Amino acid sequence: MTKRQIQKRLEGFIDKLKNDEIDYELPEDESSGVNWSSYDKAQVNELRDMLLFVRNSVDEAVERLGFDNDSEKGRGRPSYPPEDLAKGVLLQQYFEVSNRVAAGFVDLFKEKLGIEEAYSYKTLERAYDNPYVAMILRE
């Protein structure tokens, strides 16, 4: 079929559509296979479910690894718990945002994630090099 024939056929089809000569049947809801009620519920609860999943997964990993946060004694400010840093890293990866924005999200969602204290973007940046955080994320 040449280009000209294809174009004529398309124009004829468009004319039939305009003149209501072609009956279009909408698919029935049952045949589409989508449960819209469940879909809507999943969309509404996605963020909450993700936050709970991150909190529970990291807490379980820390429990399996048996970290002891009280063993670290030394000078200066005490370090942040590695589980809090791991939660921040996962939050940043989920939202695909910069360190500064992720630090804001950590502050916003710290109660839901079970994070003791919010931390700076620089702390989050350093968390990527923390061996305890890496162990948690691998677990």
116-126 tens-digit pLDDT: 999 999 999 99
Q: What gap in Å lies between CA 103 and CA 124, rounded to an integer?
A: 7
Domain holding 84, by residue range, is 45-66+79-139
**Residue 8 clears pLDDT 90, i.e. is over it:** no
Token readout for 135 is 């162990």
Q: By the 8 A CB rule, do 82 and 130 touch? A: yes
Q: Where are the alpha helices (DSSP H) in 66-98?
A: 82-95
pTM reported for the whole predicted model: 0.72
21 within a domain of the structure (yes/no): no
DSSP label at 128? Answer: T
60 within a domain of the structure (yes/no): yes
Q: What gap in Å lies between CA 112 and CA 88, rounded to an integer?
A: 12
37 within a domain of the structure (yes/no): no
90 within a domain of the structure (yes/no): yes
101 within a domain of the structure (yes/no): yes
Tally the domains of the chain: 1
pLDDT of residue 70: 60
**Residue 68 clears pLDDT 80, i.e. is over it:** no
Residue closest to 87 by CA, chosen among 115, 111, 117, 60: 115
The pLDDT of 81-94, averaged and rounded, is: 96
For the ranges 7-21, 30-44, 65-79, 87-101, the maximum mean pLDDT occurs at: 87-101
Q: What gap in Å lies between CA 63 and CA 70, rounded to an integer?
A: 14
Tokens 């174009």 correspond to: 7
* Banded pLDDT at 30 (limits 50, 70, 90): low
Q: Which residue has the higher pLDDT, 2 or 97?
A: 97
125 within a domain of the structure (yes/no): yes
87 within a domain of the structure (yes/no): yes
Q: What gap in Å lies between CA 16 and CA 61, rounded to an integer?
A: 63
User: What amino acid is encoded at 86 in this protein?
Assistant: A
133 within a domain of the structure (yes/no): yes
